[in-house]
Structure 1
Amino acid sequence: MTTNRRSQAERDAMTVEIGYALVTACLLGAVAFAALAWPAAVWHLPPAAANFLPTAGAVIGGVLAVLRVIHVLWRYDSRRRHPTTRLGTGRAGDQARKRSG
């Protein structure tokens, strides 16, 4: 366990990233649910299909939402741990530009 304290900017960035992950996950889940449940609401389907589609939409939408949160936060953590040092990005790029020209 590390005892490094995070700066306010790092905590704010993590808060924004969590909010982004949750908002996009809700939107993805809602779109998946709507795409699967819409036919049951619009057309006259057999009762089995009319019950199955909204249930399947809820399950698939929930799974996609959870996967979206995991993906966004995992990507954020990997970017935080391994910042890019390509020319033109961030401080390393600024320093390299100063040295070269």
Structure 2
Amino acid sequence: MGTRTQAQRDAMTVEIGYALLSAAVLAVATFAALTAPAYLLGWPPALNKVLFVAGCALAAVVFVLRVVHVLWRYKGAPSTQPSQPGRTSPDS
């Protein structure tokens, strides 16, 4: 593992930030989708508590899966493909 350039470190920082932010948004949406109906429709408190716990657990799972998915597909190394599609070398 060699040293990384400043651009590579900056790109990784942005990617980590994107992974955490998008995971947080998805986790909040998952939690809200699972728990909001119970509170809005006035279901029994015991059911509200069960849905709250299930919402927390599912939101945590969604958060972790999203972070892993985004960072797993990120490739920090520069691409070896040509800069122009269809070109095999810069001289062509």
Q: Higher helix proportion, which one?
A: 1
Q: Which amino acid is 1:96 matched to? A: S
5+ residue gaps, structure 2, are none
Same amino acid, percent of matched pairs = 46
Q: How many residues align structurally?
A: 92
- Which residue of the other structure, out of 42, 48, 58, is the alignment partner of 2:40? 42
Whether the 8 Å CA contact 2:22–2:66 is kept in 1: the answer is yes
- Unaligned segments of structure 1, at least 5 residues: none
Once superposed, which parts of structure 1, at least 4 consecutive aligned residues long, lie more than 4 Å away?
Answer: none
Tell me, in whole angstroms, the C-alpha distance in 2 between the residues paired with 1:24 and 1:95.
36
Q: TM-score of the superposition, structure 2-length normalised?
A: 0.85
Cα RMSD between the aligned structures? 2.3
Q: Which amino acid aligns with 2:58?
A: I
What is the identity, as a one-letter code, of the residue corresponding to 1:88?
Q
TM-score, normalization: structure 1? 0.78
